[in-house]
Chains A and B, each alone.
Chain A
Amino acid sequence: DAKTTQPTSMDCAEGRAANLPCNHSTISGNEYVYWYRQIHSQGPQYIIHGLKNNETNEMASLIITEDRKSSTLILPHATLRDTAVYYCIVKGGTSYGKLTFGQGTILTVHP
Chain B
Amino acid sequence: DAGVIQSPRHEVTEMGQEVTLRCKPISGHNSLFWYRQTMMRGLELLIYFNNNVPIDDSGMPEDRFSAKMPNASFSTLKIQPSEPRDSAVYFCASGNGRAGDTQYFGPGTRLTVL
Contacts and interface: CB of A to CB of B under 8 A. Distances in A.
Interface of A: 30-32, 34, 42-46, 49, 51, 91-93, 95-103
A51 B100 CA distance: 8
Interface residues of B, number: 27
Interface in B11-32: 31
Given A43-B91, A101-B42, A49 B102 contact: yes
Given A97-B31, A98-B56, A49 B103 contact: no
Interface of B: 4, 31, 33, 42-45, 48, 50, 55-56, 91, 93, 95-108
A99 B43 CA distance: 9
Contact of B99 (A42, A46, A91, A102): A91
A93 B56 CA distance: 16
Closest 10 CB pairs of A and B: A43-B105, A92-B99, A101-B43, A44-B105, A97-B97, A46-B102, A43-B108, A43-B107, A43-B91, A32-B100
